[in-house]
Amino acid sequence: MGRSSLAAEAGVGAEEGALIQPGSSACPSTPPVPVSALAEGVPAHRLCSLGPAGAGDMGAVGVLGWLLLLQAVPQAAGAQPCSPKSFGRDSIVCVCNATYCDTLDPVVLPAPGTYVKYESSKAGKRLERSEGSFQRSLHAPGIEYNLIRLPMACSDFSVRPYSYDDVPHDYELKHFRLAEEDVKLKIPILHRASAMSRRTLSLYASPWTSPGWMKSNGDVRGKGTLKGQAGDKYHKTWANYFIKFLDEYAKHNVTFWAVTAQNEPLAAIFTPPQFPTIAFTAVQQRDFVVRDLGPALARSPHRTRLIILDDQRIHLPHWAKAVLGNATAARYVAGLGVHWYLDSIVPASCSLEATHKLFPDHFLLYTEACSGFLTLRFSVSLGCWERGESYSHSILTVLNHFVAGWTDWNLALDLQGGPNWVKNFVDSPVIVDSSKDVFYKQPMFYHLGHFSKFIPEGSRRVGLHSSRRCLICQLEHVAVLRPDGALVLVVLNRSGWDMPFWIQDPAVGFIETMAPANSIQTYLWRGK
């Protein structure tokens, strides 16, 4: 095969992305996800963390109990290898139970002039470490998620529909109460996760639905709009509902970095009839932000940022123009949330990049992604390598198109891909089999780890010049400079053949290396 070279140099402009379609696979896959671009030097605001779906559901005790077990598995003195198991897909899962789970050693920066490489592959490698040379220690096991998305009351991944105030016409929210799901499950798990994390966890909350008495359809379930119009008693009560939520969580020592104005405000177009949602157009969301939610957050004691859209990128840049084109709304809004589900319809350059160029002071954050949605078979596909590749392809694409971070949807699910009270079952990086006291870490988990473990918050993407000497050497990649001065290069090879290439850092030298077929690699070395 021919060679390609990747040269990581700070100050070099980022290359354009192109639309790439995933190849065929023996396992079910998500729709193809296109490529995107990010500004050189833009802070990598919140990189690759997972939000717990159903993390507040009482019926999800089986899954959530295993989340606690995942945290509580004893850590050995050194790295422990994957315990592989095949379910007949194209790759394997790693089995964990109460006494054993594969782990990583803490990340230790290599000596000057050397590098370390972490590799996962369809053939069975999982973050396998190796060292090499060109021609200070961190203390954290695991893959170091640092961003959590929390549903505000119920989502479809709850076991029941509910709100925090079901007393009709309670415009002063005197009957607002957190649910048992919050007090007995979500909050204790957040406290445990925060205590175990070396990095500060950034939480953001998203509402799916208001109480039924505020909605046009009169029900938490199903599709409706908020009654009335911006500035009236319904909209002001709904804005104050956000503040009450932040107030109540603060009483439990849980604070939120951000809230989104509405999960998928145009979800009624695509979702099941019972799906909990409030529909907003871009203009309606702008007016709600200007007259109600923005002022309510500004008056509150909370330093919580506001994210708009929280929906598919097919709505960009139109949504941004409609909301951020208003100077008052723009002052209240920090960024835009994007979901990945319809990425194949519109190129990243026409949506993400176009939005960044129009509104460079507002960040772009991927706020939801999952595999196995809208499939007739195999919502959960244990050991499917292609689903992991789809994650890495998306992350590489959007980091290269001005996106500051990427959030998976479900931290862990059961074997069916739930719980989900509207039966919207999907896949997850961690699947729990409570009947056997085990959980399975899927290829998606390790693909995420190739980013989250090595690219901390505050990292900055650097220019990467790619010199391809053959047309078929289409490696996908991103290079970042970490706050500690180390350089990270992530390389994805989704093809079925090995690809030799070389890496050159003018300050250090170069290495000749290989990206095996269907593999992802993370390179880490000290800059000068």
C-alpha 203/C-alpha 150 separation (Å) is 7
C-alpha 208/C-alpha 164 separation (Å) is 12
Catalytic residue, chosen from 119, 144, 181, 264, is 264
CA-based nearest residue to 337, from 207, 453, 512 = 207
Q: Which two tokens stand for residue 214?
A: 């505020």
Q: Which two tokens stand for residue 488?
A: 């990270």
Write down the residue that tokens 């990010």 correspond to. Answer: 38
C-alpha 510/C-alpha 455 separation (Å) is 22
| 264 flagged as catalytic | yes
Q: In 3-state terms, what secondary structure has residue 449? A: helix
3-state secondary structure 249-293: HHHCCCCCCEEECCCCCCHHHCCCCCCCEEECCHHHHHHHHHHHH
Which run of H or E residues covers position 447? helix 443-452
- What are φ and ψ of residue 148, in 5° steps? -130, 130
The CA-based dihedral angle spanning residues 344, 347, 351, 356, taken in that order and rounded to the nearest 10 degrees = 130
CA distances from 359 to 228, 336, 356, 401 (A): 30, 10, 5, 14
Q: Which two tokens stand for residue 279?
A: 């529909």
| 180 flagged as catalytic | no
Catalytic residue, chosen from 368, 386, 457, 476, is 368
Within 10 Å of residue 13's Cβ, how many Cβ atoms?
10
Q: Which two tokens stand for residue 331?
A: 């002052």
C-alpha 250/C-alpha 246 separation (Å) is 6
C-alpha 390/C-alpha 485 separation (Å) is 29
C-alpha 194/C-alpha 186 separation (Å) is 12
CB 151 within 8 A of CB 206: yes
Could you tell me which residues are beta bridge partners of residue 505? 509
Judging by beta carbons within 10 Å of its beta carbon (0-12, 13-18, 19+), is residue 458 exposed, middle or buried?
middle
- Expressed in angstroms, the distance from the first to the final Cα of the chain is 33
Q: Which two tokens stand for residue 369?
A: 């992604």
Angle between helices 61-72 and 187-196 (to 10 degrees): 20
- What are φ and ψ of residue 68, in 5° steps? -65, -40
Query: What radius of gyration, in Å, describes the C-alpha atoms of the chain?
Result: 22
The residues annotated with a catalytic role in the active site are: 264, 368
